[in-house]
Structure 1
Amino acid sequence: MSSLAIDVVRGVDGFQALRRDWEALFDAQPSASPFMSYDWMAAWQATIGVGGQPVIVCARDAGRLVGLLALSERTSPVMGMPVRRLSFMGERLVAADGLDVLAHPGCARPATAAIVERLATQPIDLLALDGLPADSAMLQVLAWQLGGDTQRAYTLATHQICPYLDLRAGWEEVLSRSRRPHQFGRLLRNLAGLHGFESRAITEPGLAGAALERLLALHDRRWAAQGGSDAMTRPSIRDFHRRVVPALAERGMVRFEELWVEGDCRATYYGFTRGDHYWLYQTGYDPSWARKSVAFVRMGLSIKEAVDRGVRCYDFLRGTETYKFDWALGARVTLRVEAVGARPAARLFATGRQLRAAVEKGVEAIVPRRSLDLLRRWRRARERGREEAAPTLALPRTRAREQEA
C-alpha cells in the first residue's frame, strides 16, 4: 500500500459530497454498525446537528476513500472567548454506541493511525469523544499523540456499560440461562390464548414509518407519568428517527418487532440489524397491559427470532436497566476520551461540563423520586417548546424520496 493521503472535509456541502464514497466504504466493512452509516449521519446533521459543522477526516489510498472519522464542531462563548469543541458526529442525544474510525478492512490500522495523527494537529480547544469502543484501534494512537502533549490535558474514562447476549448456543440454552425461563413460558402461553395474539416483524421500507409511529405512541404512554422520556420526547429526536428509519429500511437494516393482542399493538421493539449482529435501540408498551408482561414476552420472542435468523450477538446497547439482565450474560464498556487545550477558556468549559454531570448525579441521589419526576416534566416541556421554535436544516431525507423528486 502506498502512503495514505489525509484531507479534512468541512461543512455540510463537503459532507454531502462524500456520500457515494462513504457508502462504498461502509459496504466494504461488514462489522460497522448502522450508527456509522452515511444515512445515520445525514439524518443527525439535518436535525440534532444543526448549528454544528461537520468535520470529516479522510484517509485516501490513490484517491480511494479507505478511512474516515466523522466529527462535529461547535463553538461556544466562554468569558467572551470562542471555544472550539470537536465530538463524534451522530452521537449527541441519539445514544449511538461504538462510534469509531470507519476503515476498509485491508488498511484499518494504518488509516486509523494516519487519521488520528492528522486530528492531533488541529487547533482544538476540546476534543470529547463519547462512546468509543474499548477495543478501538484509536486508543493506542490517541494516547501516543495526545497523552504526552504538554499543551493538552488528556483523560480516558469509562462512558457506558452495554449489556449483550451471545446467541451461538441456540434458543433453548439461552432461555435456560435467563432469569425467568419458566415464567416466560407461562406468560407466553397466557397471551397466546387471547384473541388476536400475533408476533409481527416489520422491515419493509413502506411499512417502517407507520411502525415507528406506533413505537412513539407506546413509548409516550409508557413514560407519560414522568413527562416523557429524554430518549424520544424532543421534536428534533423524533424528526431524526422519522428521517433515519426510511433511509436505513431501504438498506435492510431496520427492524420493528411488535406484539399484537385483541386488535392492537401492545408492545414493540425498535432495533437495527446487520450481518450477524442485532442492536436493540428502543422499546414501547401499553402500560394498561403491564400485568400481562407484554414487554417481557416481546423481549423473549425478539431473542428467539434473532436466533432463528442466525444472529450471533444481541446487543442491548447502553444502560444497565434490570430488564436487560433478565437475559444478558455479559457486558461491554465504551469509553470517553477528552483532550483539553491550554487556554483558560477551554479549561473552564471542560470543567463546567464535568461539574454539570456531577451535579446531575448528585441530584438524582438525594432528591425524592416524585420531586425528580416533577422536575423532569418541567424541563422536558421547556425543551420541547424551545426546539419547536428553532429551525431545522434542509437535507434530503431518504434515497427513495430523492429518486421520486
Structure 2
Amino acid sequence: MIPAFSGDEWWDLWRRDPRATPFQSPAWMEAWWECLGGGERIDLEARGPDGRLVAALPMTVWHDAGMRRLVPVAAGQSDYSDALVDPAAGPDAVAGLWDALLATANRWDEALLPDLRADSPLLGPVPDGWRAVDEPGEVCPVMVLPPAPPLLAGLSKSKRRKVVHDRHRAAAVGEVSETIVGACGITQALDALFALHAARWAAAGEPGVLADPRVQAFHRAAAPALAAAGLLRLSVVRLDGRIVAVLLGFADGRRGYSYINGVDQSVPGQSFGTLAFAVAIEDALVGGAGEFHFLRGEEPYKYAWGAEARTTVRRRVVRVGSSLKFMPRMLLDGR
C-alpha cells in the first residue's frame, strides 16, 4: 500500500523531529511492510495550515483472537515505537494526530502503542471519551557517552582494561581488524551475521530470531536504505580476513544504537563481541552522539559498559466503558 504521505515529506519530517530514531524512518518501516507486513494499513497524519506534514504515525490493524488492535508499523522489530512530530508545530500537531487516530476508531477495537519512551508526545492526555492504560514496557539500557573522544578515557578502569585486554588477546592469535563497513560490504556482513547468529542459537537447540527468511529479507531490504540515509552502522571484526563478529546497529548523530549481533564462539578464550561493540560505540562518539542505546534486554554486558536502565511505556487506548483484554507481551516481540 502507498503511504498517505510521500517518502520525501516523511523523510523531511523525520529530520525535523529531534526525537526521531531510525525505527521511525521510511527506510525501516517500508522495508518491514514489504517483507513482513500485510492486512489493513492506516497511516495517520496531521498537517499545518500550509499543508505541510507536521505529525505522522504509520499503523496497521492486527487481528488477534477476535480483537482488532491498531499497532504501529514494524512494532515487533522496533525497540522504540513512536510518532514523528515537528516540535515547531506546537501542540496542534499532536492534537491533530489524535484526531486522525480516533477518526478511524470504527476499524479497530483497541489502539496499542508499545515501546514509547518516557518523553513521547503520545503519552499526554487522551481526548474525552477515551481512556489510556499505561504499563511498563521493555528495559532498554542507555550509556551516556563522554563529551569527547577517545572512548577508553571515558570508561571505568575495569572496562577500559577489558577492552585493551581483549584487543591484545585477539591480536595474539592472528591479524585483527575492526571496521564499520560501507555500502559495498553490506551483503557480506549480513551473510556473516545470519550465519554466526544461527550457529550460536543452534548450539542452544533453538533457531534464533534471524532464522525466518522473511526477517532476513527485511534486514536485506532495510540495510541499504538506512545506509543511503547515513543511519546504518555495521561493525565487523575480522581475524586473518575471516569475519568473527558482526554488530548491526544505527547512528543518527544524536544517538548510537546496537540492534543485534553475531559472534564466532569457536575460538577459545576470545571476546570478539567486545571489539564489535567498542568500534560501534567509538564511531557514535566520534560522530557527536551523546548516548549509546543498547536497546531492549538487560544482558549484563550492557551494564558493564556503564549503561543505565531506562524503561519504555506500553500504552493501550480504548473507548470509555470498553474492557481491556489481557495480551501477553511476547505477541509483539520481534527479537
The verdict on a shared fold, with TM-score over 0.5 as the criterion, is yes
Corresponding residue for 2:35? 47
The question of 1:88 aligning with 2:61 is answered no
Cα distance change, pair 292–48 in 1 and its aligned pair in 2 (3 A): same
| Structure-2 residue corresponding to 1:234 | 212
Kept after mapping to 2: 8 A contact 1:59/1:115: yes
3-state SS of 1:284 partner = strand
Any stretches of 5+ residues in structure 2 without a counterpart?
A: none
SS at match of 2:309: strand
CA contact (8 A) 1:109 1:137 kept: no
Closer/same/farther in 2, CA of residues 188 and 232 from structure 1, 3 Å limit: same
1:125–1:343 CA contact under 8 A, matched in 2: no
Report the counterpart of residue 97 of structure 1 in structure 2: 79
User: Does the CA contact (< 8 Å) of 1:196 and 1:262 recur in 2?
Assistant: yes
CA deviation map 1:220-261 (0-9, x unaligned): 112112344543222221111011011111111111111111
In the alignment, what sits opposite 1:324?
A: 302
Whether 1:115 aligns to 2:77 is: no
Q: Which residue does 1:139 correspond to in 2?
A: 123
Unaligned runs of 5+ residues in structure 1 are: 1-11, 359-405
Cα deviation, residue 161, structure 1: 0.8
Question: Compared with structure 1, are the counterparts of its residues 248 and 16 closer, same or farther at alpha carbon in structure 2 (3 Å cutoff)?
Answer: farther
For the Cα contact (< 8 Å) 2:133–2:316, is it kept in 1?
yes
Q: Is the 8 A contact 2:46 2:97 kept in 1?
A: yes
Structure label with greater radius of gyration: 1
Give the secondary structure class of the aligned counterpart of 2:279: helix
CA separation of 1:77 and 1:309: change in aligned 2, threshold 3 A: closer
Q: 1:165 touches 1:330 (CA, 8 Å); kept in 2?
A: yes
Aligned residue number for residue 274 of structure 1: 252
Match of 1:167 among 145, 149, 159: 145
Correspondent of 1:56 among 38, 43, 58: 43
Identity of aligned residues (%): 29
State the AA in 2 paired with 1:100. D
Q: CA deviation digits over 1:255-295, x for unaligned, max 9?
A: 11111112311111110111131111111111112521111
Summarize the alignment of residues 285-300 of structure 1 with structure 2, pairs less than 5 Å apart: 285-289=263-267, 291-300=269-278
**Alpha-carbon contact 2:180-2:280 (below 8 Å) kept:** no
Could you give the per-residue CA deviations for residues 64-87 of structure 1, whole angstroms, max 9, x where no partner exists?
A: 111112211133453xxxx32101
Contact 1:267–1:295, Cα closer than 8 Å, also in 2? yes
CA offset digits 1:186-234 (Å, max 9, x no partner)? 22112123332111211x3232122111111111112112344543222
Question: Which residue number corresponds to residue 171 of structure 2?
Answer: 192
Q: Secondary structure at the match of 1:47?
A: helix
Q: How far is the alpha carbon of 1:117 from its aligned partner?
A: 3.5
CA distance, structure 2, for counterparts of residue 97 and residue 108 of structure 1: 26
Structure 2 CA distance for partners of 1:133 and 1:209, relative to 1, 3 Å: same
More helix by share: 1
Query: 1:209·1:245 contact (CA, 8 Å) conserved in 2?
Result: no
Q: Please tell me whether the aligned partners of residues 251 and 284 of structure 2 are also in contact (alpha carbons under 8 angstroms).
A: no
Return the alpha-carbon distance in structure 2 between the equivalents of residues 184 and 41 of structure 1: 35
* C-alpha distance 331-76 of structure 1, shift in aligned 2 (>3 A): closer
**One-letter amino acid matched to 1:106:** A
Aligned to 1:383: none
Residues paired across the two proteins, number: 326
Contact 2:116 2:313 in 1 (8 A): yes
SS of residue paired to 2:278? helix
Give, in whole Å, the separation in 1 of the partners of 2:81 and 2:320. Answer: 27
Instruction: Give 3-state SS (helix, strand or coil) of 1:258's partner.
Output: strand
* SS class of match (2:46): strand
CA distance in 1, matches of 2:19, 2:224: 22
Instruction: Give the TM-score of the pair, scaled to structure 1.
Output: 0.74
Instruction: Please give the root-mean-square deviation of Cα atoms over the aligned residues, in Å.
Output: 2.5
Q: Give the Å deviation of 1:109.
A: 2.9
What is the match of residue 162 of structure 2? Answer: 183
Query: Displacement of 1:334 after TM fit?
Result: 0.8
Where does residue 19 of structure 1 map in the other structure? 7
TM-score, normalisation: structure 2: 0.88
**Mapping of residues 191-270 of structure 1, within 5 Å:** 191-202=170-181, 204-228=182-206, 230-270=208-248
Aligned-partner residue type, residue 26 of structure 1: W
Q: Which amino acid aligns with 2:298?
A: T
